[in-house]
């Protein structure tokens, strides 16, 4: 049951975006559409899971003095893989996400989970934690992007279902803050009732 709790805590109880308020730069920057949010979330999930795996496996080999720089090199390696794969196979998404892909290296969620969890836990627990937090982050970005896309352009995942223009404010940065505020309030309400 403990592994299941580790997996599910990233969705509501300890959601990186809605509860811990981490990773807000990509959250607010790329979530103009649901597909951008999903793409960024899955890219971050891959980096989070893979870096957690490597760090949990070599944690005893890393000297304490170079622990954080070592974590950053490991994370940067997986970010480079994501960037090259996305550039080669998903060029349109890569162009939309742009600068935010390399910024995964310094994302507080990834580095924080490496330091607080993977460096102290076993392989299985680190994978489950990485998946839970990563998918919770993906859920948050996709939800935020979907709400902004519906209100801002009357579409979802690029499928237009409302003719005409939406409310421009939701496509712009202020719309991200407005939607995020309401979603945080909703998640807080859900967490208080459970």
The answer to whether residues 141 and 129 touch, using CB atoms and an 8 Å cutoff, is: no
First-to-last CA distance in the chain? 17
pLDDT band at 4 (very low <50, low <70, confident <90, very high): confident
Locate tokens 């995942």: which residue?
157
Percent residues over pLDDT 90 in the chain: 68
pLDDT digits 0-9 by tens, 79-107: 999 999 999 999 999 999 988 999 999 88
> In angstroms, rounded to a whole number, what is the distance separating the alpha carbons of residues 182 and 30?
18
> In angstroms, rounded to a whole number, what is the distance separating the alpha carbons of residues 94 and 142?
16
> In angstroms, rounded to a whole number, what is the distance separating the alpha carbons of residues 107 and 24?
9
The region of weakest confidence among 33-47, 56-70, 112-126, 155-169 is 155-169
pLDDT at 8: 78
Using a 10 angstrom Cβ sphere, with 0-12 exposed, 13-18 middle and 19 or more buried, the burial of residue 76 is middle
Which of 79-83, 125-129, 162-166, 189-193 has the highest average model confidence (pLDDT)?
79-83
The answer to whether residues 175 and 169 touch, using CB atoms and an 8 Å cutoff, is: yes
pLDDT at 6: 67
- The answer, yes or no, to whether residue 179 has pLDDT greater than 70, is yes
DSSP result, 34-78: HHHHHHHHHHHHHHHHHHHHHHHHHGGGS-GGGHHHHHHHHHHHH
> In angstroms, rounded to a whole number, what is the distance separating the alpha carbons of residues 37 and 16?
14
As a whole number, mean pLDDT of residues 21-40 equals 91
As a whole number, mean pLDDT of residues 69-86 equals 96
Mean pLDDT of the chain: 91
């Amino acid at each position: 049951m403990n592994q299941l709790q580790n997996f599910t805590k990233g969705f509501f109880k300890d959601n990186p975006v809605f509860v811990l308020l981490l990773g807000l730069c990509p959250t607010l920057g790329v979530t103009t559409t649901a597909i951008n949010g999903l793409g960024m979330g899955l890219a971050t999930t891959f980096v989070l899971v893979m870096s957690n795996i490597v760090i949990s496996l070599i944690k005893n080999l890393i000297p304490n003095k170079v622990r954080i720089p070592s974590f950053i090199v490991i994370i940067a390696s997986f970010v480079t893989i994501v960037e090259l794969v996305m550039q080669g196979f998903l060029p349109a998404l890569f162009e939309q996400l742009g600068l935010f892909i390399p910024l995964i290296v310094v994302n507080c969620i990834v580095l924080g989970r490496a330091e607080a969890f993977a460096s102290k836990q076993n392989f299985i627990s680190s994978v489950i934690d990485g998946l839970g937090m990563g998918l919770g982050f993906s859920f948050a970005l996709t939800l935020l992007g979907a709400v902004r896309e519906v209100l801002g352009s009357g579409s979802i995942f690029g499928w237009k279902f409302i003719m005409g223009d939406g409310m421009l404010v939701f496509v712009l940065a202020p719309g991200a803050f407005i939607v995020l505020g309401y979603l945080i309030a909703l998640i807080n309400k859900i967490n208080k009732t459970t």
